[in-house]
């Protein structure tokens, strides 16, 4: 039987549903209910959600929607890129951006609304990155009714995320035209990988 969720637990549950998977390390970074003075901890929230069938806690590492059997590494990678993007000048995460996350559509893992002014789409690049970028461009121009040369008018930025240096370099050499950045992740996705952005 499901129990009432606190606002913090509900917010975390909503993010998991929209992204598809998180790691414990990511939850520790975004869990605003955790303070050194309180007895609350991210693991307490995770175990509560798991015990009441809101989520699946896999291998003490991955937090998935309930009944999912496999972590979604593409969503996890893209969320690391988002967490890096929404840090303020002091390196702290601006949690207001987490409330604007929008579930993805297949090509786009998920999106968020940055400063109420533009949509940021996260796209994971794997070995099929050329076809994925081509489809992203086709959809961008058709849905937004944008002509070539006026891409910035749409108010949309794409963040192309990969863990492969080769794919990052090759993608950066493409004439993508859309406002975008390449995010290269280095390190373990279950911890706190280094995220490097370039055009």
Q: Is residue 78 part of a domain?
A: no
Q: Is residue 2 part of a domain?
A: no
**Are residues 108 and 159 located together in one domain of the fold?**
yes
**Are residues 98 and 132 located together in one domain of the fold?**
yes
How many whole angstroms separate alpha carbon 16 and alpha carbon 10? 10
**Are residues 58 and 109 located together in one domain of the fold?**
no
Number of separate domains in the chain: 2
How many whole angstroms separate alpha carbon 1 and alpha carbon 15? 21
SS (H, E, C) 142-165: HHHCCCCCCHHHHCEEEEEEECCH
Domain that holds residue 111: 84-198
This prediction has a pTM of: 0.92
Q: What is the pLDDT along the chain (199 residues), one digit of tens a residue?
A: 466 788 888 989 999 999 999 999 999 998 754 444 455 678 888 999 999 999 999 999 999 999 999 999 999 999 999 999 999 888 889 888 999 999 998 899 999 999 888 999 999 999 999 999 999 999 999 999 999 999 999 999 999 999 999 999 999 999 999 999 999 999 999 999 999 999 8
**Are residues 90 and 185 located together in one domain of the fold?**
yes
Q: What is the CATH number of the domain that holds 39?
A: 1.10.10
């Amino acid at each position: 039987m499901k129990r009432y969720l606190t606002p913090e637990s509900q917010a975390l549950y909503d993010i998991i549903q929209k992204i598809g998977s998180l790691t414990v390390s990511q939850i520790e970074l975004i869990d605003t209910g955790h303070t050194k003075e309180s007895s609350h901890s991210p693991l307490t929230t995770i175990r509560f959600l798991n015990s009441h069938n809101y989520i699946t806690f896999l291998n003490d590492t991955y937090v998935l929607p309930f009944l999912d059997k496999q972590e979604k590494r593409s969503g996890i990678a893209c969320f690391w890129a988002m967490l890096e993007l929404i840090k303020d000048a002091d390196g702290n995460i601006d949690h207001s951006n987490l409330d604007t996350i929008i579930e993805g559509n297949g090509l786009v893992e998920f999106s968020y609304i940055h400063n109420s002014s533009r949509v940021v789409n996260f796209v994971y690049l794997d070995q099929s990155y050329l076809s994925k970028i081509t489809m992203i461009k086709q959809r961008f121009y058709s849905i937004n009714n944008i002509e070539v040369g006026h891409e910035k008018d749409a108010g949309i930025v794409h963040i192309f995320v990969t863990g492969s240096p080769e794919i990052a370099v090759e993608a950066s050499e493409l004439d993508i035209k859309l406002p975008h950045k390449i995010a290269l992740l280095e390190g373990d996705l279950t911890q706190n990988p280094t995220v490097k952005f370039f055009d």
